Structure 1
Amino acid sequence: MKIVFIADGNPADNRLWSGTIKQMYTKLKQEHEVTVVDVSNYSKILIIFNKCLTRLVKLILKKKYNATYSIINAKRESKKVEREVCKLKNVDVIFCPAKSSSIAYINLGIPIIYLTDATFPQMINYYEHLTNLCKLSIYEGKKIEGKAISNSSFVICASEWVRESVTKNYKVNKIETRVIPFGANIDELLPKKKKIEEQINILFCGVDWKRKGGTTAVETVRELQHRNVNVHLYLVGCKPPEEFVEPFIHTIGFLDKNDERERNQLKEIYSNMNFLLLPTIAECAGIVFAEASGYGIPSITYNTGGVGTYVIDGINGFKLPIEANYVNFADCIERCINDEKTYENLCIRAKEYYKVLLNWETWEKLFNDILKEVIK
């Protein structure tokens, strides 16, 4: 089939949406004729206007204005999509992953499949950059997303959490929705058989130290050390504050998946971990959970956002209530360590869950099923 793929940049770049866009683009190209429409080139005038408006709102209202959800910008993006699509012949479907502004104001008579990992109402005061928004930003965000969903023939949801919100907030009746989780954004997984050894290796993987719960992760490992558990924490993606320098904390820093050497380094790190500890306080999906499962690593995290689709209690890890603290996380990990059979079963089930659902081959198959429904 002939698919128009809307992207906010180069879809082959691993840095775009943590590599998720690249995985989708690569899979679709294998079976379909895919044409990319890049909507990332913003006009200088619009950039200046958005900066001025953002500063004005902050100065006068002491609020935030989020230019990403600007109706002016959405109309510009939609016009660009219309122009580019009109140059093509016999387009079967438009696929728009996580870019509602690009399809909100188009009118082409071509089926649209829209993919999202969170709705705008869910994100308000959930992620830091969408806190304390002015009324205009809230109005525009809901308006744009509502029109994008209304324009769509099908909405793919990255978790059950977002599917519930799409149905609740936008009164989806004729538009179909389906949950298709993301896969792991590391190719050629190299899992090793996991077992409890003298040293327990725990991985923390995230760029945003605060949101991903870096402090809680360090406090958890300190607590385990106080209980005489030989545990080491490996920090990937960010650097901790200076007060978190300990002999058992190893800072790897950010690893670029576009770089072969750093990508292989990340694979090697995953291969030697016993647990993924990610006490994230806000998470739409969490590709890292799919990656950990692919390596047979149990994930210990909070029950928040879309995490429930990616981490199933007793299958590939455990989700703790959002009010849990580092002591509770330490208790959870220690129970797993002390029951080797339980730990081994978690590792086996994690790998199985990855093979069944948290992989891009399954995503591709389910996407193609939707394509057939939309085109028939």
Structure 2
Amino acid sequence: MKIGFYSSMHLDDKRNWSGTMYKMYEQISKLGHEIEWIPKLTLSSSEEKRYKNLENWYQKIFKRGYNQHINFYKARVIANKVDLYLKKQNFDVIFAPTAVNDFALVTTKTPIIYLNDANVGQLLNYYPYYSGFGWLSKKETMLIEKKMLQRATVNIFSSEWAADYAINHYGIQREKVKVLKFGANLNVPKNWQFNKHLDNEITFLFLAVDWIRKRGNLAYQTVKILKEKGYNVKMQIIGCNPHLEEEWVNIIPFLNKNNPDELLEIQNHLLNSHFLFVPTQADCTPIVFCEAAAYGLPVISTNTGGVSAHVENGKTGVLLPENASAKDYADAIEPLLMSRNEIEKMSVASREKYDKELNWEMWGKTMSNLLLNIKPS
């Protein structure tokens, strides 16, 4: 089967979507299919100018923000270019991850597999960069997304949270919606066994770039409460620098996954920490939660977005409501510190969840079955 893979960056580039695009390309390649990169199509300078005039007109009238990524002007212009491009090709299937705006209005008869970690409709006023749009822009966004989901032969989401929204909010047929959970975008220990010391210092790892949205201060305040109660705990921060000076906080402002030595350092912290503590404010599919599971690391986070697809509260981690305070988190964590064999149970369950669900090999097997059931045009 010849598959056209639509992407803004080359398929070999491991930076694209935190490495997720590369991992999907890698798995589809292993299935033996011929894959050809379709570079993301863009507006010309004159088309971009017309769009800016439209955006300025909208903001002047409505005094509100306009979704510059998803709108009918760009959708129509790009769809025409996509159709023209595809007429010169001979693909059996198009794989278009996240390309909601670019394929919503295409007329090609080639089957399209659409993939995303959320519906954009779910992200309106949920993510900061999808907030502040006027009512007309929001309606436009959701109409385009609905057309994309209707147009696709199969719609793949990485969580039940996103899949259920497509079915219940947009009325997409259940048989057209599938859940394929993502895996870890780094090296995974093959024969993992729990061998951590639980009678010494317990390390809470905060691994994230965005201290604000991932609510690093909430994690910090929680660990501080536990420290003040006399527990031997430590916070390891990687990916940002909140300039904390406590002796029980260690900060590594940045580590590059594309640097082998720095990647190894990240992996060592995953291997040696006891919890991944990222009480995120908003998230769809945090890949770092899949990576934590691969290293048998229980996750402490928020029951928001698609998080519960990757963390089972009370089994592979702790999930609290979005309005939970540092005291609430400390109260939930304290029983684990008092009965530390529960930490080992959670660690083992986390790795088992990775082996059964949160790995790219499983993603590839499920994708293989989906491709077998698609009839080329």
Do both proteins adopt the same fold according to a TM-score greater than 0.5, normalized to the shorter chain? yes
Identity of aligned residues (%): 34
Retained in 2: the 8 A contact 1:194–1:347?
no
What TM-score, normalized to structure 1? 0.93
The residue number in structure 1 matching 2:335 is: 335
After TM superposition, list the pairs within 5 Å mapping 1:254-293 onto structure 2.
254-293=254-293
After TM superposition, list the pairs within 5 Å mapping 1:2-41 onto structure 2.
2-31=2-31, 32-39=33-40, 41=42
Aligned counterparts of 1:348 and 1:325: Cα–Cα separation in 2: 28
After superposition, the C-alpha distances for 1:61-84 in whole angstroms (9 at most, x for unaligned) are 442112111222222332333233
Out of 34-43 and 143-152, give the one that drifted further: 34-43
C-alpha spacing 1:41/1:195, structure 2 compared with 1 (3 Å): farther
Out of 75-84 and 285-294, give the one that drifted further: 75-84
C-alpha spacing 1:49/1:361, structure 2 compared with 1 (3 Å): same
Does residue 347 of the first structure (1) align with residue 347 of the second (2)? yes
After superposition, the C-alpha distances for 1:79-98 in whole angstroms (9 at most, x for unaligned) are 33323332222x22111111
Q: CA deviation at 1:164?
A: 1.1
Aligned counterparts of 1:271 and 1:319: Cα–Cα separation in 2: 21
The residue number in structure 1 matching 2:81 is: 80
Does residue 228 of the first structure (1) align with residue 235 of the second (2)? no
What's the secondary structure of 1:329's corresponding residue?
Answer: helix
Opposite residue 87 of structure 1, the aligned amino acid is K
After superposition, the C-alpha distances for 1:270-309 in whole angstroms (9 at most, x for unaligned) are 1111000111111111111110000000001111111111
- Runs of at least 5 residues in structure 1 that lack an aligned partner in the other structure: none
After superposition, the C-alpha distances for 1:326-364 in whole angstroms (9 at most, x for unaligned) are 112122222212212211111111101000000000011
After TM superposition, list the pairs within 5 Å mapping 1:209-228 onto structure 2.
209-228=211-230
Retained in 1: the 8 A contact 2:41–2:81?
no
The residue number in structure 2 matching 1:64 is: 65
Aligned counterparts of 2:248 and 2:60: Cα–Cα separation in 1: 45
Does residue 237 of the first structure (1) align with residue 249 of the second (2)? no
Opposite residue 299 of structure 1, the aligned amino acid is V
C-alpha spacing 1:174/1:268, structure 2 compared with 1 (3 Å): closer
Aligned counterparts of 2:249 and 2:44: Cα–Cα separation in 1: 45
- Aligned residue-pair number: 373
The residue number in structure 1 matching 2:163 is: 163
Retained in 1: the 8 A contact 2:188–2:294?
no
Aligned counterparts of 1:223 and 1:49: Cα–Cα separation in 2: 55
Aligned counterparts of 2:124 and 2:269: Cα–Cα separation in 1: 35
Aligned counterparts of 2:287 and 2:339: Cα–Cα separation in 1: 28
After superposition, the C-alpha distances for 1:102-124 in whole angstroms (9 at most, x for unaligned) are 21111221111111211122111
Q: CA deviation at 1:215?
A: 1.1
C-alpha spacing 1:16/1:349, structure 2 compared with 1 (3 Å): same
Retained in 2: the 8 A contact 1:152–1:175?
no
After superposition, the C-alpha distances for 1:205-252 in whole angstroms (9 at most, x for unaligned) are 222221111110111111111111222212222222x4x332222221
Retained in 2: the 8 A contact 1:114–1:152?
yes
Aligned counterparts of 2:83 and 2:197: Cα–Cα separation in 1: 55
RMSD: 2.1
The residue number in structure 1 matching 2:297 is: 297
Opposite residue 196 of structure 2, the aligned amino acid is K
Aligned counterparts of 1:174 and 1:296: Cα–Cα separation in 2: 33
